[in-house]
């Protein structure tokens, strides 16, 4: 099944009275920015994974939370699907709109409500950019730790929806580990507070449940995040290797030595050359792989850890180990890594960015497997890894103008994800499932597990109106994909089965 061209979702949705919906929204919210002409809707037809495109029925751009509440209530009354969207930088089709649904864009809810330096928290609206939080906290010597490569553009609401990571999440955790409280609206427009300003809150941990739920359970309207003190010192070591397998083994060796770096990233030769040509970071372009290892903390500890890591890297077979001479070089080293995706985009008309997670010990074998699959499908793959936590991002290069290459790229990506599952890993680490990986969910989870996921969805959204068709496949879809066999009966939530 080619999910990039799967039209079943939009075809399964009931037709919406577009003009009636427009009239209802304008009557209730005369100042609402509402887009409904085709030429105005086109810029919103995809997210960062641009291989998927659907023109939405309407785009709503509220400025205030009460407008969001009214939009949700009207859509719920009329049984119109709603897809929440932040900055649109997602890479799994999670914010892909629906031809018979409203795209609810939260980018204009972009105010930093309060910085509390004593509690080390920031209370912000969902449209605030990730990097803007650290910029606002900087005068207090604080920052927000999760740092996706898209942090200059991505919004914190989208980070919550996908449980985003970044190059420094090995030591400081993903989005879910850096949240204190969420304010959300249900599909009916009812407000909920999840989490607490206190260290604990009563009841079930719904804060963790909502984080990574991809807009399927509710709409986030405010986020309270943890802030951390900026480390006194940060140093980066760059290690070059003559084969990617040695670099993969070195990652496990560093962690086994009892050292937890602030960041531990890996790039293969194709990614190294692309980044060096684009950023001029000072990377050794002849290396088959490099590791970037950042140590942070107080001066004495960092100096000692740098020497220990150097010894581990040399013992693992590094051909060169280089310590950044100063802060400017440290920033250049990271700039090359954080710009790896756009840099690789210069090598090919198109590329397909994958996202899977494996145990660190499996890195060498999985890298060999990716190389074999690359040769089998006759498509180049540039590998970029959050190596410390096993989160890999193979970038599959292809040309959509060549007949069959898009389909080969998609098939290769699916095989890579299934290989991750086969070695005990996951089909996603931070990009989410969205529309991209919905078939591979069938490979990772059993029918019983998927039924439980649908039960959670139905508890919050009984009509299946919030971001339908994403994240959780139906059992029938899995049977069609060939990942499971259904003997009798249907899903116990027939209202969701249409998706």
Q: Which residue carries 């919406």 as its tokens?
A: 16
Last residue of a domain, one of 327, 342, 357: 342
Q: Three-state SS for 233? A: strand
Same domain, residue pair 263 and 326 = yes
Same domain, residue pair 193 and 253 = no
Nearest CA to 467 out of 161, 193, 126, 184 is that of 161
Last residue of a domain, one of 200, 229, 258: 229
Q: What DSSP line would sit under 342-366, residue for residue?
A: HHHTTTSSEEEE--EE--GGGHHHH
Burial class (CB in 10 A: 0-12, 13-18, 19+), 279: buried
Q: Three-state SS for 237? A: strand
Same domain, residue pair 384 and 478 = no
Contact (Cβ atoms closer than 8 angstroms) between residue 252 and residue 245: no
What CATH number does the domain containing 359 carry?
3.30.70.2740
Give dist(CA 439, CA 482) in Å, integer: 9
Q: What DSSP line would sit under 81-137, residue for residue?
A: -EEEESSS--SSSTT---TTSEEEE-TT---EEEEETTTTEEEE-TTSBHHHHHHHH
Same domain, residue pair 297 and 215 = no
Same domain, residue pair 178 and 253 = no
Nearest CA to 439 out of 92, 202, 44, 56 is that of 92
Same domain, residue pair 352 and 275 = no
Same domain, residue pair 249 and 338 = yes
Per run of 10 residues, the mean pLDDT along the chain (length 499 residues) is 44 84 98 97 90 93 98 98 96 94 98 98 98 98 95 97 93 97 98 93 91 97 98 97 94 94 96 97 97 96 96 98 96 95 93 93 92 97 93 95 95 96 95 94 95 96 96 87 52 50
Give dist(CA 233, CA 330) in Å, integer: 11
Q: Which residue carries 């903390």 as its tokens?
A: 297
Give dist(CA 162, CA 159) in Å, integer: 5
What CATH number does the domain containing 171 carry?
3.30.465.10
pLDDT score, position 9: 53
Same domain, residue pair 395 and 452 = no
What CATH number does the domain containing 247 carry?
3.30.70.2190
Contact (Cβ atoms closer than 8 angstroms) between residue 417 and residue 391: no
Same domain, residue pair 127 and 83 = no
Same domain, residue pair 222 and 303 = no
Name beta bridge partners: 381: 396
pLDDT score, position 455: 96
Contact (Cβ atoms closer than 8 angstroms) between residue 339 and residue 286: no
Please state the domain count of the chain. Answer: 5
Same domain, residue pair 142 and 91 = no
The whole domain housing 387 covers 348-439
Dihedral sign from CA coordinates of 291, 295, 299, 301: negative
Same domain, residue pair 309 and 356 = no
Contact (Cβ atoms closer than 8 angstroms) between residue 376 and residue 447: no
Last residue of a domain, one of 187, 211, 229: 229
Give dist(CA 340, CA 336) in Å, integer: 6
């Amino acid at each position: 099944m080619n999910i990039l061209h799967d039209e079943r979702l939009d075809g399964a949705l009931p037709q919406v009275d577009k003009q009636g919906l427009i009239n209802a929204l304008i009557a209730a919210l005369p100042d609402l920015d509402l887009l409904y002409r085709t030429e105005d809707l086109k810029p919103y037809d995809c997210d960062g994974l641009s291989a998927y495109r659907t023109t939405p029925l309407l785009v709503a751009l509220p400025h205030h939370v009460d407008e969001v509440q009214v939009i949700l209530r009207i859509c719920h009354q009329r049984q119109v699907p709603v897809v929440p969207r932040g900055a649109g930088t997602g890479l799994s089709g999670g914010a892909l709109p629906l031809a018979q649904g409203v795209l609810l864009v939260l980018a204009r809810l972009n105010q930093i409500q309060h910085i509390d330096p004593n509690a080390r928290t920031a209370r912000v609206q969902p449209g605030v950019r990730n990097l803007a939080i650290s910029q606002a906290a900087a005068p207090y010597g604080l920052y927000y730790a999760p740092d996706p490569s898209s942090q200059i553009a991505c919004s914190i609401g989208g980070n919550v929806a996908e449980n985003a990571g970044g190059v420094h999440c090995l030591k400081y955790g993903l989005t879910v580990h850096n949240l204190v409280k969420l304010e959300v609206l249900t599909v009916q427009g009812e407000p909920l507070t999840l989490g607490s300003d206190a260290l604990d809150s009563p009841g079930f941990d719904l804060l963790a449940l909502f984080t990574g739920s991809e807009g399927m359970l509710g709409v986030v309207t405010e986020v309270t995040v943890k802030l951390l003190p900026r480390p006194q010192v940060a140093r980066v070591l760059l290690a070059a290797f003559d084969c990617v397998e040695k670099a993969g083994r070195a990652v496990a060796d560093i962690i086994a030595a009892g050292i937890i770096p602030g960041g531990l990233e890996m790039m293969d030769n194709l990614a190294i050359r692309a980044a060096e040509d684009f950023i001029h970071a000072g990377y050794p372009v002849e290396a088959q792989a490099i590791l970037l290892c950042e140590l942070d903390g107080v001066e004495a500890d960092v100096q000692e850890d740098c020497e220990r890591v150097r010894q581990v890297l040399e013992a693992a077979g590094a051909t060169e180990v280089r310590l950044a001479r100063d802060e400017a070089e440290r920033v250049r080293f990271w700039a090359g890594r954080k710009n790896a995706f756009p840099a690789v985009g210069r090598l090919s008309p198109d590329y397909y960015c994958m996202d899977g997670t494996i145990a660190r010990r499996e890195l060498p074998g999985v890298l060999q497997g990716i190389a074999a699959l690359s040769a089998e499908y006759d498509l180049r793959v540039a590998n970029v890894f959050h190596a410390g936590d096993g989160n890999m991002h193979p970038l599959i290069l292809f040309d959509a103008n060549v007949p069959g290459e898009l389909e080969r790229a998609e098939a290769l990506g699916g095989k890579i994800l299934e290989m991750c599952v086969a070695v005990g890993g996951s089909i996603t680490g931070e990009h989410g499932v969205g529309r991209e990986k919905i078939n591979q969910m069938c490979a990772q989870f059993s029918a019983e597990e998927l039924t439980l996921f649908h039960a959670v969805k139905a508890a919050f959204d009984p009509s299946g109106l919030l971001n339908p068709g994403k994240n959780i496949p139906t059992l029938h879809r899995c049977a069609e994909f060939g990942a499971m066999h259904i003997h009798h009966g249907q899903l116990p939530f027939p209202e969701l089965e249409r998706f």
